[in-house]
Every structure is written in C-alpha cells, then in structure tokens.
C-alpha cells in the first residue's frame, strides 16, 4: 500500500501507538508509506480522512523496536497530548486493528475472509456472509443520593481507586434496564430517574461506553466481594482516588463535583 501523497499513519504494536516526541509535542507519522520508517506491518488499511489527508492504520509484530526518535505509547498515556481529531482517529484505528486481527475467519462456515471494497466489513468468498467490526455496548452510571455519589472499587483497581458502576448490555435489554440491573447486581441499590449523559468509544478492545446519571430509590449497599470489593457513598468534597480524565467515568464524576460546587457557592 504505497500512496502518491503523504498520509497520517496510526501504527500500533499491540495497544501502543508509534509517535514522535519533539520536546513534549506528541505527533503521529505523516508519510507515503510505513516502509519509509523501515517497518514491516502485518496488516494495514485505510480508515478515513483528517481534512484532505488520508489516514491509515497498521499493525506491527509484537517484537518491533521503535525507529530512532520515536516511541510506542499507550493511548491512555497521551490523552490530551494529541490534537482532538487525531486522538479520535487513533482510537478508531485501534478498534479497526483489533477487529481485523480477531476476525480473520468466517463465523458461519470457517473459511478465511477478506476486507470488502467500499465498506468497513469482511465478506466470505465461500458462503457470502458479511461481518462488520464488533462494538460491545456498555453502560456506565453515576448514582446520586442527595449530596452523595455511589462509587465502587473493583478488584482490579489499586487499593484507593474508586469509580462509577458499569456493565455490558445483554441481548434483549434496553439501556435503562442495564443501568438498573448492573447497579442492583453490584451494590443491591435500586435507582430511578435514569438520564442519558453522553458516550465514549473505548477501544480496549471494542467497547462503546454509554453514560447515564440516576437517583437513589432504595436499598442498602451489599456487594459480592468478587467483581466489586467495596462500595460507598461519597461527598463531592471528600472523594477517593478516581479515574483519569481520559474516561467518561471521570466526566461523570467531574459533572457531580461541579454540580455540587455550584450549590455550595450559591449557599455562601
């Protein structure tokens, strides 16, 4: 895949993006082809455009060393360092690479499948089945009880890290039903007044996080001690360690903090 014009290249080794770092200024390569960096991608493909420039995603073998003057960095670590549209394209690139790598055979007949021209999908030459990138919808919700928010600590978190409740959508469920079910399953709390907040693609590996707020409707906190190891109600002014600003979890918590800070200011 050699282009006549330079293009933006989003080149990954696993979940890490190849970037330049010019005294703290992070950027991605603008090249005609990844071969200019003496790299040999396993797979590469067109993923869209930024303004007039094409964008390509490429996947490298796990043992690839970064070219001189470049480094592999996780997307979470460079959030805010890349221009917003470039970062959004990087998340798109990672999602497509994950799909391309894990969807090489037909789910219907088992034959090898290839990318289809003109669409983001793969078609099986043997049986005609067409598959598209997998997107796994998950809800994430901040529950309020008066001046407090419900935060929980998962077993995979560090000792003092808490976040909001989240879980994947199951077949046949509405998003509101998932919110109620996940909060009930993880904390035994009932909720009401479920309201949409926003969404965020989360390509680790293929989630779409759909954010909500909700109000406490009853119950006392009970946890199973497995997926969730602790859950508590927190005031906006006395929060534990919370997720970084890359995540919609943090956006929900920041919304809660701002909301109650305004109330405190109004009361002074």
DSSP string, 111-168: -BEEEPTTSS-EEETTT--EE----EEEEEEEEEETTEEEEEEETTS-TTB-B-EEEE
Tens digit of each residue's pLDDT (9 = 90 or more) over 51-91: 999 999 999 999 999 999 999 999 999 998 999 999 999 99
Q: Where are the domains of the chain?
A: 7-102, 104-133, 136-267
pLDDT for res 266: 58
What is the pLDDT, as a whole number, of residue 267? Answer: 58
CATH class of domain segment(s) 7-102: alpha beta
CA dist 69 and 179 (Å) reads 46
Band of pLDDT at residue 226, cut at 50, 70 and 90: confident
Q: Would you say residue 218 has pLDDT above 70?
A: yes
Sign of CA dihedral 260, 262, 266, 268: positive
pLDDT at 2: 47
- Residues 181-194: b if buried by 16+ CB within 10 A, e if exposed: ebbeebbebebeeb
pLDDT above 80 (res 151): yes
Q: What is the mean pLDDT of residues 177-188?
A: 97
Please give the Cα distance from 129 to 228 (Å, whole number): 40
pLDDT tens figures, 7-25 = 999 999 999 999 998 877 8
What is the overall mean pLDDT for the chain? Answer: 93
Degrees (nearest 5) of the Cα angle 261, 195, 239? 35
User: What's the CA gap between 104 and 55, in Å, rounded?
Assistant: 22
- CATH tag for 136-267 (out of 3.30.470.10, 3.30.470.20, 3.90.79.10, 3.60.20.40): 3.90.79.10
Q: Range with the lowest mean pLDDT among 81-85, 113-117, 157-161, 255-259?
A: 157-161
Asked whether this chain's domains 7-102 and 136-267 adopt the same fold, the reply is yes
Would you say 199 and 163 are in contact if contact means Cβ atoms under 8 Å apart? no
DSSP state of 77: G
At residue 3, the pLDDT reads: 60
């Amino acid at each position: 895949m050699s282009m006549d014009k330079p293009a933006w290249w989003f080149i990954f080794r696993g979940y890490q993006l190849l970037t330049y770092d010019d005294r703290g200024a992070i950027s991605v390569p603008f090249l005609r082809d990844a071969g200019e960096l003496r790299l040999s991608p396993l797979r590469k493909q067109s993923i869209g455009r930024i303004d007039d420039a094409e964008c390509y995603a490429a996947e490298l073998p796990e043992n690839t060393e970064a070219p001189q003057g470049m480094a592999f960095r996780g997307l979470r670590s460079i959030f805010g360092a890349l221009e917003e549209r470039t970062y959004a394209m990087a998340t798109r690139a990672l999602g497509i690479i994950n799909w391309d790598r894990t969807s090489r055979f037909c789910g219907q007949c088992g034959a090898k499948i290839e990318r289809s021209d003109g669409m983001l999908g793969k078609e099986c030459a043997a049986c005609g089945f067409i598959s598209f990138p997998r997107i796994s919808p998950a809800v994430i919700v901040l529950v309020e009880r008066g001046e407090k928010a419900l935060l929980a600590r998962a077993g995979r978190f560090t000792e003092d890290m808490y976040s909001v409740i989240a879980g994947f959508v199951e077949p046949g469920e509405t998003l509101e039903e998932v919110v109620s079910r996940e909060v009930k399953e993880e904390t035994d709390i009932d909720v009401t007044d479920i309201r949409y907040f926003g969404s965020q693609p989360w390509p680790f590996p293929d989630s779409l996080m759909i954010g909500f707020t909700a109000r406490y409707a009853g119950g006392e906190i009970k946890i199973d001690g497995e997926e969730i190891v602790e859950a508590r109600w927190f005031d906006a002014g006395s929060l534990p360690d919370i997720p970084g600003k890359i995540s919609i979890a943090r956006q929900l918590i920041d919304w809660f903090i701002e909301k109650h800070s305004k109330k405190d200011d109004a009361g002074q």
